[in-house]
Structure 1
Amino acid sequence: MSDKRVVFFDLDGTLLTSDLQVAASSIEAIKRISEQGVEPVIATGRAIHEIEYVLEATGITSSVAMNGQYVVYNGEVIYENPLKVDEVLALHAEASRNGHEMAFYNAEKITVTTGDSELIRKNYMRVGGEYPEVDNGLYQNEPIHLMLIFCEEGEEVHYQERFPYFQFVRNSPYGCDIYPAGSSKATGIEQLLSLKKLSPENTFAFGDGLNDLEMFDLVKHPVAMGNAADILKQTAAYITTSNNEHGISNGLRLCGLLK
């Protein structure tokens, strides 16, 4: 088993600043650790096609995407976990009955169930994206790996009770990520470590949100951003400065990866 050190970077609120860019200090820090043989990996709820500009800016070639459901290592897809069509169909039918719109994700595209939703519009403005293409049946024609449901805070409880084979993790005031119960970014990370024979003892992770909790429980050295949720800070080995205050470069120094 390789003793190579591997660092997993969440994106929103972590590697990305509030203006959705990668800070120059982060780009330089990632370049330097890469030159020292450290493997940087993106670990995000986003799909691969949403983060191409980040991969280009940083030179990173490996990603744990869509909350662990799709893993790329040095440009090669090594693991994917598409959702079951019958389970998606049942959830979509219930959401439609309740007047809640949805989004469906795979490696190539995002589609949504309506072209006129204020919650959808606000959600994608928040991450610097455009309003997705409308196609309410993508999952019937192509594999999908992640869904979103657009609803007010607290409304997801109904779905969690009714559909226990999914988990609903709120990622914004506008909606929740949906992926298989018991899976997470940590699932994708475990697959990457196992398939590439990398030691968990040499793993680091940077994060700020609720979908980083399982990742923090898995890696040996979790690093919380200064702007992270309190529950994440409580489980971190290190707390760095915020994503707008050179948190990546400062955190890499804190955990000894950047001299």
Structure 2
Amino acid sequence: MKRKLIAFDIDGTLLNSQKEALASTKKALERLRNNGHLVMVATGRSRFLAQPVLTELNFHNYIVCNGSAAFLDHKQVYKHLLDQEQLTAFVAEMDQLKIDTAFIGMDAMRRHSDFDVARMDEAMRSFGSHVPKQDVNFKNQQEIYQALAYYDDTYEGFFDEKYPALRFVRWHEKCVDVIPENGSKAATIIHLGETLGIDRSDIITFGDGQNDKEMLAAAGVGVAMGNATADVKDVANFVTASNDEDGIFHALKEFALI
């Protein structure tokens, strides 16, 4: 059997609606590894927020911060930091608009402001986290892989042309990720495949959210979970059962990979 690179989103994909990994998912991952495939996470979370899942499910390979960093066997092999000049200008505008921002380093996250803590809390709780501590100097003291801007679709597309070095990817109705302009899970997955000599046709991706659309479309086979939104399913090659209904296990069985 030809070796595959198989990448999984975390929230809504590897984890069910109770934020737990199904027994069937754990079994599927073990069988994939035993069959010689490269199994990895591709998440919008930073490494420290992903760590509990990485540890529980025995992942040694992972893409974090929506593609801004990648690790193989726990060693960092890729990083793409945010443009500091444009990030500083963007944050100044957010402050003027009274929109909260937060910054993500590899192992820590801090918020810059506290205009609407309830809005931040709603977004962070959606994946089992909490509002980060405030530190207005954090951005200038750490390598920043990703930022968060807590605004709804009122500002959708509003900042794209103004900050061409930044890219805005919605993951919650009240929050967007801010990542490097040409950064994405998809780009980093394809880059790793090329580095490892794995053809794009042998890359399989699983996801459910807006920040998964590109990696589903770019892979040889993109699998949308049954709980994905309609537009995510539209770009996928295959739609499986939901994250509560053994979707990962069923798809991999269908592909005869486990």
TM-score by length of 1: 0.94
Q: Which residue of 1 is the match for residue 93 of structure 2?
A: 94
Q: Contact 1:149–1:176 at 8 Å: present in 2 too?
A: yes
Unmatched runs of 5 consecutive residues or more in structure 1 = none
In the alignment, what sits opposite 1:196?
A: 196
Cross-structure match for 2:172? 172
Would the aligned equivalents of 2:241 and 2:250 in 1 still touch at CA under 8 Å?
yes
Equivalent residue for 1:220?
220
Q: Does the 8 A contact of 1:71 with 1:77 survive in 2?
A: yes
Aligned to 1:187: 187
Q: How does 1:60-71 map to 2 (within 5 A)?
A: 60-71=59-70
- Aligned pairs for 1:108-257 within 5 A: 108-115=107-114, 117-257=117-257
2-side partners of 1:154 and 1:248: how far apart? 35
Shift of 1:255: 2.2
SS of the residue 2:78 aligns to: strand
CA–CA separation in structure 2 for the residues paired with 1:100 and 1:27: 40
User: Structure 2: which amino acid aligns with 1:12?
Assistant: D
Within 2, Cα distance between the matches of 1:99 and 1:214? Answer: 31
Partner of 2:15: 16
Whether the aligned pair in 1 keeps the contact of 2:5 and 2:193 (CA below 8 Å) is no
Structure 2 residue 28 is matched with structure 1 residue 26: no
Distance 1:232 1:16 in 2: 18
**Where does structure 2 lack aligned partners over 5 or more consecutive residues?**
none
Q: Distance in 2 between matches of 1:220 and 1:157?
A: 29
Q: Distance in 1 between matches of 2:134 and 2:253?
A: 45
RMSD of aligned Cα (Å): 1.4
Matched pairs, number: 256
Query: Structure 1: which amino acid aligns with 2:22?
Result: A
Shift of 1:41: 0.5
C-alpha separation in 2, matches of 1:126 and 1:228: 15
Question: Secondary structure in 2 aligned to 1:222?
Answer: strand
Q: In structure 1, what is the Cα distance between the partners aligned to 2:214 and 2:130?
A: 29
> Aligned partner of 2:101: which letter?
M
Tell me, yes or no, if structure 1 residue 42 matches structure 2 residue 8: no
**AA at the equivalent of 1:138:** F
Q: Which amino acid aligns with 2:55?
A: E
Distance 2:237 2:126 in 1: 29
Provide the rounded CA distance (Å) in 2 between the counterparts of 1:137 and 1:188: 29
126-135 or 238-247, which moves further after superposition? 126-135
Paired letter, 1:166: L
Q: Is the 8 A contact 1:238 1:254 kept in 2?
A: no
Question: What is the letter of the counterpart of residue 205 of structure 1?
Answer: T
1:130-182 deviation per Cα after TM superposition (whole angstroms, max 9, x unaligned): 32121123221111111110012222432224223222111112211111223
**Contact preservation (8 Å) 2:82, 2:180:** yes
TM-score, normalised via structure 2 length: 0.94
More deviation, 50-59/187-196:
187-196
State the one-letter code of the partner of 2:106: A
AA paired with 2:63? V
